[in-house]
Homo-oligomer: A and B are copies of this chain.
Amino acid sequence: MKQYKILLIIADGLGDRPVSKLHGLTPLEAANKPNINELLKNSIAGLLDPISPGIVPGSDTSHLSIFGLDPHKYYRGRGVFEALGAGAILNDGDIAFRGNFATVNNDFVVIDRRAGRKLEEGEDLVKELNDKIKEIDNVKVKFYKGTEHRVAVVLSGEGLSDKVSDTDPHYEGIKVLESRPLDSTLESKKTAEVINKLTRKIYEVLNSSEINKRRVEKGEKPANIILLRGASHYVRLPRFKDYTKLKAAAVSATALIKGICKDLGMYVTTPPGATGGIDTDYNSKAREAIKLLKEDYEFVFLHIKATDAASHDGLIEEKIKAIERIDSVIGTIIDDIGRENIVIMFTGDHTTPVELKEHTGDPVPIFLYVPYPIVNDSIKDFNEKEARKGSLRIRGLDVINILLNYSNRAEKYGA
């Protein structure tokens, strides 16, 4: 049996509900998708519950599940994956947080949760913090720059815990919160103390930083605090290669997704112009996927965030455009690689209805194209309505098994 290469494309937040401005169509229904609908002629299709029916997935829990790892067992909070995506090298037992550079006044009241959002000096501020804060109470501290105002903070040392509350008040006009232990262990008490000392130290360093003085002079808000949230305890994930036998590469510009893929041991790349937003360079991503498929990667994962970004911002036309550009990406890839050489799955990691601007637990349309005759599902258009007629009604944890089966790479279980 010929073994085929596998391309898995996930459009973040792809699924949707009927949109009133589209006269009840979903963005997938409204979008023009000639390449996808051509592939549907030799595909199985249906609906995917990324975790299980009704569960509202995060992008992290959903991707874990789709990559074959039960999030109920392997998910340990978002901080870890953000830190990995920002380039952190973690060791078992480290505690990682997501953070925002933010602006506080002298009373520690939050004036701007994102310090103006477009923070050009993030790199320099992180450098200054790493130079001036090496440890707190014998706990090592390390800062990693994320996108825009985002930052990851990692604590390393003996006897730490992730059972501590956020310092981020999540609203402006409120004081930075004291972190509290969330259970009665000494580890949690100690970790909360370290975080509170660290927060004050961060303010000292940042508030007196030359960088912030220049920002204030220019009339900008100082980035004089880091608000922490999502404490999570790092335990390395199983290697994707170990449990699938697939040499895998991931194309993504989103720190969280990059973090998961890195931790799974995939080769992770962000091509030039890929932003993780609606302004991403689709062509650059297509070319990168083609390049990887021509190398010795057996599994190429292409992640596109634009659909979710548009959904969260309520941008209906941008979501439709993103879908149409993904259709072009698929066309570019099959024109180059040849549709006879590859198995292609396309789906979303969850539904983000563009009118709700939030994730929901609705199932997501999914299809799998194969390059040989199969009993196909005769679906004419790839959308939430038509997908109901397909034979697939699967969960995230089934995805890898199905890809291995239809790429002729599955090992028989039993005799």
Contacts and interface: CB of A to CB of B under 8 A. Distances in A.
A360 interface: yes
B402 A54 contact: yes
B414 A60 contact: yes
Interface string A38-67: 000000000100011111111111100000
A57 B412 contact: yes
A146 interface: no
Contacts of A184: none
A54 B414 contact: no
A185 interface: no
A4 interface: no
A410 interface: yes
A362 interface: yes
B362 A405 contact: yes
Interface residues of A, number: 58
Given A401-B55, A401-B361, A414 B62 contact: yes
Contacts of A75: 413-414
Task: Name A's interface SS.
Answer: loop
Of the listed residues A61, A393, A411, the one surrounded by the most CB atoms of chain B closer than 10 A to its CB is: A393
Nearest to A18: B373
A89 interface: no
A268 B239 CA distance: 44
Nearest to A414: B58
Nearest to A411: B56
Given A373-B24, A374-B17, A58 B404 contact: no
A415 B54 contact: no
A188 B372 CA distance: 45
15 contacts: A17-B375, A18-B375, A24-B373, A53-B392, A53-B402, A54-B404, A54-B405, A54-B406, A56-B413, A58-B412, A58-B414, A62-B414, A360-B405, A361-B404, A375-B384
